[in-house]
Amino acid sequence: MIPGTMRAMVLERPGEPLRPSTRPLPAPGPGQALIRVAACAVCRTDLHVVDGELPDPALPLIPGHEIVGHVVAHGDGGGRHPIGSRVGVPWLGRTCGHCSFCRSGAENLCPSARFTGYTLDGGYAEYTVADELFCFALPSAYDDVHAAPLLCAGLIGHRAYRMALDHPFGGAIESVGLYGFGAAAHLIAQLAVAEGRRVLAFTRAGDVAAQQHARDLGASWSGDADRQAPQPLDAALIFAPVGALLPRALAALRPGGKVICAGIHMSDIPAFPYRLLWQERSIRSVANLTRADGDDFLDQAGRVPLRVDTTSYPLIRANEALDDLRQGRLQGAAVLLP
Ligand SMILES: [Zn+2]
Ligand SMILES: [Zn+2]
C-alpha cells in the first residue's frame, strides 16, 4: 500500500533548522521512479545548502542526495529499475543530454543539470522521485545504511582521487595527502591503501579521534593540518571547506604534484607566493559526478570491501545530524533513517 502523504524534513529558508512536514506523495513523471527511502546519508554539501552558502536551492526544499531506497512505482515509460529493486540516487539528478558537455563525457558540467536535494527534492523524506536513468544499482555487499555514503562521499571522493592519479608521474603516485578526514576521506583512504599507496591524513588541529580513525583505516601518518607534512606528497585531496588548506597542501607537494579541491564550497583562499605553484604544480576542482564515475566507483566498491563507518539518526533528528557534522563530532558518515 502506497500512502497519499509522507513525512519529510524541509528547508524553508537557508540558515533556519529543517522543519518536520507532511507532504503529498510526489508523483513520478515520465522516466521517473517513485522510491521508498530506506536510508539517506548526510553530506557536507547539505550543510552548505542549509546554511545558505550555495546560491540556488529550490525552496521549500527536501535536502539529501545519498539516497538508498526501493522502487515502488514508475511514471510513463519507466521500468528500467523494476518494482522492488534497490537503487541509489546521487547528486546528479538530470542533465540535458545534448549540450557539448553532455556529448563529450562531461555531463557533470552540463549547464542545465539539476541536482538532487538542491534544485530537486531529495531524500530527507519517506519517499522521493528520481529519473531512472540517473539511478544506480548498488553492490549487494553493503546494506542500506552502509551503501548510502557511497553515493556522494564515495563517488565524488573517488572522482577527486582518480583526478589526482591522472598526473605526470602516472602510476608512480605513492603518497596521497587527505585534508579533512570525514565521510569521503575515510572511504578514499581505503581505496588508496588497497592500491598500495601511502596515505597521510591531515585533520583539524587537535582532532585526535579523526587522526586515530585515519590510522585505523590504514593511513601511515595522521596529524594536524597546520603541521608540516612529514614527507613530500605526490598528490593532495582537500575535502575540508577551508581555503587556507590550499597553500598548505601546495607547499607539501613535490614538483609536478596536483592539489584537487573536492568540495562544492570553500572559504576564500588566502594569497600565496608563486613559488608554491612553480615547478608545474597544479590546482583543480571537482564538480559533481558523471554516471560513468558512479558505475566505475560502485564496481570498485563491490570488489574492494570498504569499511563504511556510519552514525544513524531517525529522520526527525536530521537537524541534530547536520549539527554534529558542522561541529566535527562524527567519525565517518551520518545516515538518516525514515
Ligand atoms: Zn547538457
Ligand atoms: Zn554530497
Nearest-ligand number for the alpha carbon of 107 = 1
Residue written as grid cell 581555503: 243
As residues whose CB is below 5 A from the ion ligand 2, the structure lists: 43, 45, 152
- For the chain, domain boundaries: 5-151+289-337, 155-285
Q: What is the pTM (predicted TM-score) of this model?
A: 0.95
Q: How many CA atoms lie within 13 A of 285 on its CB side?
A: 11
Reply yes or no on domain 5-151+289-337 having CATH 3.90.180.10.
yes
- State the average pLDDT over residues 93-109: 97
Residue type, 153: A
Q: Which residues contact 307 (CB under 8 A, 6 or more apart)?
A: 190, 217
The predicted structure's pLDDT at residue 167: 65
Question: Which residues share a beta bridge with 106?
Answer: none
Q: Write the DSSP symbol of residue 25.
A: P
- State the average pLDDT over residues 67-80: 96
pLDDT band of residue 325 (cuts 50, 70, 90) is very high
Q: How far is the CA of 71 from the centre of ligand 1 (A)?
A: 26
Q: How far is the CA of 335 from the centre of ligand 1 (A)?
A: 31
Q: In whole angstroms, what is the distance from residue 17 CA to residue 319 CA?
A: 6
**Are 5-151+289-337 and 155-285 equal in CATH topology?**
no
The predicted structure's pLDDT at residue 128: 98
Q: Is the pLDDT of residue 156 over 80?
A: yes
The predicted structure's pLDDT at residue 275: 97
Residue written as grid cell 558537455: 101
Q: How far is the CA of 179 from the centre of ligand 2 (A)?
A: 17
Nearest-ligand number for the alpha carbon of 105 = 1
Q: Which set of grid coordinates corresponds to residue 280?
A: 608545474
pLDDT band of residue 172 (cuts 50, 70, 90) is confident
pLDDT band of residue 81 (cuts 50, 70, 90) is very high
Q: How far is the CA of 159 from the centre of ligand 2 (A)?
A: 12
Which CATH code is given to the segment(s) 155-285? Answer: 3.40.50.720
